[in-house]
Amino acid sequence: MPRKKKIEMEIVNHNAAGIDVGSKSHFVAIGQALEDVKEFGVYAEDLVELCKWLLSFGITTVAMESTGDYWQNLYVELQKHGIEVILCNGKFTKHAKGKKTDVKDSRWIQKLHSLGLLSGSFLPDETTEILRTYCRQRINWIELAASTSRKMQKYLKFLNFRLDVVVNDVCGLTGLKIIEEICKGNLDPHSLAEYRHYNCKKPKQEIAKALHGNNREDYLFGLRQEYDSYKFFQRKIKACDKEIERLIKNEIKKSPEKKKLKTTEKPYKGINKNAVEIKNFNQVAFQYFGGVDLMAVEGVSHATVMAVMSEIGIDGFKKFKTAKQFCSWLRLAPNNKISGGKIISNKIPKGSNRLKIALRHSANAIGNLKDTHLSDFFKRIAYRKGRQAAVSATARKLATIIWTMVVKNVPYNPPSQYLFLDQKRKMGIAKRIKKQIAKFDIKPDEIGLGNSLSPNYNF
């Protein structure tokens, strides 16, 4: 009988444990034997007991899956006790052989982590995480306010108040004032038309014509309820804005050098009504990033800069060694699948985070600009591959630009004109020839050019 061969792998993490995170209990494995696995609850005292149990066996590093939101309290407690935590994506740990159980999962995670086969997910620093909480809560309120706005429009149509025809935005200055008066009981069309804002395109006569309704009490009741909800959500959004502004300015105050920084005004940057209300946000963002002016990049709006600040932060950029790694994390880089020396597929991986969505929105806005470096790039890609591919390519280029600006602390300096491939090659060849002429001190007469070259050999 031939002897069975065993392939041994070097243990990278000797004092490693694996945790299978659950909603009601956590299974912890410190080895591959059954007695090395223990189940713990999810209450605060259970998490403390779990950490003490790990430390009693000399465990210094732990790996666990980022399952839902169940990992967060455990992660904080492990960090508190000085244990290194590797939070990994579940797709890297789901290939355990045999029937799936919590015990097998914890042992499989422990085995992979001991062999150094697991990589950690990106986690922002504490300040960025707090800012992210405020911004995401604000986005939740905006979505609820948008839903309420749609319901108000529905009740207005049921009442035959065609406010949506005469104003561009029902929740604008004219629309909200008229809705407020309707909710107070003012149903006279001509009286309501007097609340027209001077920027409204439609005249008072046409607005009054659109406000002859049936005045049904049930629809008016529904409209009042939705209008009250809309005002409530707007108050919540403003409360989030105050917390975001307070946190950002407190972070700037920690560094006196940042407070002295000044940037140029950018009146051409439009402010969306859903943007965070921070006075002179252009200046605040410039100071927050330590003199890096992200607003100087065309297409980058207030919302884009806020997404960068809240989703990754300044220190988060430094966790990616190259711009390619940063783009790969954002899932903006092609996922090349090669077999037999041929590329089978090079599609961009599925999945989006909030920063990727913000960059794609900026890229789409760049596609509507004229005569800029990035808009020219967008249009060349769109001409060959369509607008959707151009949005992805421009978003990737934006991510590279932002990473370079923040990590290397360099200003945005786009080339004045785009050089096509043959022009780049021509410039490269001319540069190499000029270098060789200078190196060997070659005169124009020596290579038979006579006076066709200037004494400075400028190509």
**What pLDDT does residue 416 have?**
64
**What pLDDT does residue 410 have?**
92
Q: Using CA atoms, how far apart are residues 151 and 171, in angstroms rounded to an integer?
A: 12
Residue given tokens 């699948």 in the structure block: 337
Kindly state the average pLDDT of the residues 261-277: 87
Confidence of residue 8 (pLDDT cuts 50, 70, 90): confident
pLDDT digits (tens, 9 = 90+) for 50-108: 999 999 999 999 999 887 888 999 999 999 999 999 998 887 787 666 778 888 899 99
Confidence of residue 435 (pLDDT cuts 50, 70, 90): confident
Residue given tokens 């995480």 in the structure block: 129
Residue 29 forms beta bridges with which residues?
A: 18, 37
Given a cut of 80, is residue 143 above it in pLDDT? yes
Q: Using CA atoms, how far apart are residues 79 and 145, in angstroms rounded to an integer?
A: 38
Contact 333, 348 (CB under 8 A): yes
pLDDT digits (tens, 9 = 90+) for 169-198: 899 999 999 999 999 999 999 999 999 998
Q: Using CA atoms, how far apart are residues 364 and 222, in angstroms rounded to an integer?
A: 37
Q: Using CA atoms, how far apart are residues 428 and 422, in angstroms rounded to an integer?
A: 10
**What pLDDT does residue 458 have?**
44
pLDDT digits (tens, 9 = 90+) for 14-40: 899 999 999 899 999 999 899 999 999
Confidence of residue 420 (pLDDT cuts 50, 70, 90): low
Q: Using CA atoms, how far apart are residues 189 and 211, in angstroms rounded to an integer?
A: 5
Strands 26-29 and 37-40: antiparallel
Given a cut of 50, is residue 457 above it in pLDDT? no
**What does DSSP assign to residue 295?**
G
**What pLDDT does residue 421 have?**
62
Output 365 or 119, whichever has higher pLDDT. 365
For the entire predicted model, the pTM comes to 0.82
Q: Which residue, 314, 320, 319, is CA-closest to 333?
A: 320
CA distances from 110 to 16, 24, 39, 71, 106 (A): 7, 20, 15, 16, 6
Report residue 69: phi and psi, to 5°: -110, 5
| 307: amino acid identity, one letter | A
**What pLDDT does residue 20 have?**
92
**What pLDDT does residue 430 have?**
82
Structure tokens at 96: 């355990």
Cα angle, residue 93 at apex, residues 89 and 94 outer, rounded to 5°? 110
Axis-axis angle for helices 373-385, 354-366 (nearest 10): 90
Residue 86 forms beta bridges with which residues?
A: 63
Given a cut of 60, is residue 453 above it in pLDDT? no
**What pLDDT does residue 422 have?**
66
Kindly state the average pLDDT of the residues 371-393: 92
Over pLDDT 90: what percentage of the chain? Answer: 63
| 160: amino acid identity, one letter | N
Given a cut of 80, is residue 368 above it in pLDDT? yes
Q: Where are the alpha helices (DSSP H) in 115-216?
A: 126-158, 163-166, 173-184, 189-193, 204-209
**Looking at 116-120, 146-150, 316-320, 414-418, which range is the least confident one?**
414-418
Q: Which residues of 221-260 are buried (b: 16+ CB within 10 A; e: fewer)?
A: ebbbebbebbeebbebbeebbebbbebbeebbeeeeebee
Kindly state the average pLDDT of the residues 261-272: 86
pLDDT digits (tens, 9 = 90+) for 199-224: 888 999 999 999 998 999 999 999 99
Given a cut of 70, is residue 419 above it in pLDDT? no
* 3-state secondary structure at position 317: helix
**What pLDDT does residue 333 have?**
87
Report residue 183: phi and psi, to 5°: -65, -25
Contact 24, 72 (CB under 8 A): no
Q: Which residues of 325-354 are buried (b: 16+ CB within 10 A; e: fewer)?
A: ebbbbbbbbeeeeeeeeeeeeeebeeeeee
**What pLDDT does residue 337 have?**
81
Contacts 24+ apart (CB under 8 A), 252-260: 252/284, 252/287, 252/288, 255/290, 257/290, 258/287, 258/288, 258/290, 258/291, 259/287
Output 411 or 268, whichever has higher pLDDT. 411
* Domains along the sequence of the chain with CATH: 16-114 (3.30.420.140), 128-252 (1.10.287), 262-408 (no CATH), 421-452 (no CATH)
Q: Which residue, 90, 56, 95, 55, is CA-closest to 71?
A: 90
Average of per-residue pLDDT values in the chain: 88
Given a cut of 60, is residue 269 above it in pLDDT? yes
Structure tokens at 403: 């990473």
Determine how many CB atoms are found less than 10 A away from the CB of residue 191.
13
**What pLDDT does residue 455 have?**
46
Confidence of residue 234 (pLDDT cuts 50, 70, 90): very high
Q: Where are the alpha helices (DSSP H) in 185-301?
A: 189-193, 204-209, 217-253, 256-259, 281-288
